[in-house]
Amino acid sequence: MKTAERILVTSLDLFNHHGENNVSSVDIALELDISPGNLYYHFKGKEVIVAALFDLYKSQMDKVLSAGTSKPLSIEDFFYFLYLIIEQGQLFQFFFHNPSDLFDKYSGIAKPFKIQLITLEKCIENLLNEFKTKKIFAASNAQILQIVELVGLVFTQSANYYSMKGQAVDDENYLYKSLASVLFAVLPYINIEPGELHQLQEAIATQSLVGELGDVAE
Amino acid sequence: MKTAERILVTSLDLFNHHGENNVSSVDIALELDISPGNLYYHFKGKEVIVAALFDLYKSQMDKVLSAGTSKPLSIEDFFYFLYLIIEQGQLFQFFFHNPSDLFDKYSGIAKPFKIQLITLEKCIENLLNEFKTKKIFAASNAQILQIVELVGLVFTQSANYYSMKGQAVDDENYLYKSLASVLFAVLPYINIEPGELHQLQEAIATQSLVGELGDVAE
DNA sequence: GTCTATATCGGGATAGAC
DNA sequence: GTCTATCCCGATATAGAC
């Protein structure tokens, strides 16, 4: 792996684990066994690193989003879609730890990041409206917006919430708990045999989701 | 006002607006037109200030919580109770901006803060269970826990979410939006004439809550 | 109680040799 | 591409005069 790439991978890892704020350029260099000077040769400061990581995040998230909107989804597909989104977010956790500070320090990413988030939410809103058209989902526009906002809240802030409560939620459990919260909010508005979806909820709650949904997705 | 008190008030204000991380001891002193040395005479560093502010937060929140549990509440009272809780949280926003960093830096408040949060959630759980007993609320224990978790998420993280989206939500709107989210999650499980509570939701959504709920609370 | 002056420390950033 | 040496700066913290 080239040095530049190693720097990105290591930075992402350190940022995710300790918070961007608590990782200095020297820390990154130290972790990589290179000199601070060398680090600066490749990236002129953390600003550039963060920007590069954002580009990576955006490109990966865009891939997921377009996969979710290219063809009609079933409700089950929809939750697998959400699963993929949450997973991507988790890979770039550090962006969500303290966005206001981050945007202050690196003002370049503020706008694009917000746009990305709004795109994501718009995308979910569209999917819900499709379900509504297909009569498998019944909610007013206001309710749909509420759901979208809740999904956004869960997607961007659940990790902060759990870490704040001091519950050491590991990466896997975190995904299921987030999904369960979303499902819980959506469930009352879904129009199919109750048994069928409570099964899904059960699956998520007991964290056997992959077995249940894994094949649906391919 | 004594200098010590002025320091606390000003610190809280600066912390809330700019984040504890971005406010140095010198900033506080400057804002108060006193010298850094003088500041240190009263509080030996930000650590002590933060600890004092936490004590204040805890005592005020405890007052609200005990008011909410001393006598049986109606559903309307319950939402006014949530209103007061969210309002208190808002007065000490900075604690919620980046708790993990805060707890790292000021390890003394980590435990008490978590306990306070868990107490609050337990309190809400108890209230929901009471409503269940009175048959005005129907939900399984798992569902109640889900609701409590959503309330916790909304209470602790909504502000971060809105600021992350770049929506400049002013203090008042913020309260109503948070309340509306909670109401939305709870609504499907409430057992009274639909019209009655949709009225409440409408009131919250249109932000005329104070008129609707203000008198109920006294 | 309040001030000025100063010590210390860590992070960001760069110059210049190899 | 990589290193060492160094500089600058902001934040914390304290000493000692008034």
Q: Is the pLDDT of residue A202 over 80?
A: no
- Work out the average pLDDT over A168-181: 92
Does B188 touch chain A if contact means CB atoms closer than 8 Å? yes
For B10-43, the pLDDT digits (tens) are: 999 999 999 999 999 999 999 999 999 999 999 9
Calculate the angstrom distance between C1' of D7 and CA of A87.
Answer: 43
Reduce the secondary structure of B107-156 to three states and give it as a string.
HHHHHHHHHHHHHHHHHHHHHHHHHHHCCCECCCHHHHHHHHHHHHHHHH
| pLDDT of res. A167 | 84
Full-model pTM: 0.93
> Does the beta carbon of B141 lie under 8 angstroms from any beta carbon of chain A?
no
For B153, name the nearest residue in chain A, comparing CA atoms only: A161
Partners of A190 in the β-ladder: A137
Distance CA B175, CA B82 (A): 10
C-beta atoms of B166 and A114 within 8 A = yes
Q: Which residue in A190, A175, A118 sits closest to A152, CA to CA?
A: A118
pLDDT digit string, tens, across residues A33-83: 999 999 999 999 999 999 999 999 999 999 999 999 999 999 989 999 999
- Among all protein residues, pick the one whose CA is nearest to the C1' atom of D2: A38
* CA A62 – CA A67 distance, rounded (Å): 8
DSSP annotation of A22 = G
B28 CA: nearest nucleotide by C1' = D11
Chain C nucleotides reached by a protein CB under 7 Å: 1-6, 10-16
CA distance A66 to A60: 10
Say whether pLDDT at A185 is over 50: yes
Does the beta carbon of B201 lie under 8 angstroms from any beta carbon of chain A?
A: no
Task: Please report, rounded to whole angstroms, the spatial distance between the CA atom of protein residue A128 and the C1' atom of nucleotide C1.
Answer: 64
Query: CB contact, 8 Å: A19 with chain B?
Result: yes
Any B CB within 8 A of A205 CB? yes
Distance between CA B66 and CA B163 in Å, rounded?
31
CA distance A129 to chain B (A): 18
Nearest chain B alpha carbon to A18: B101
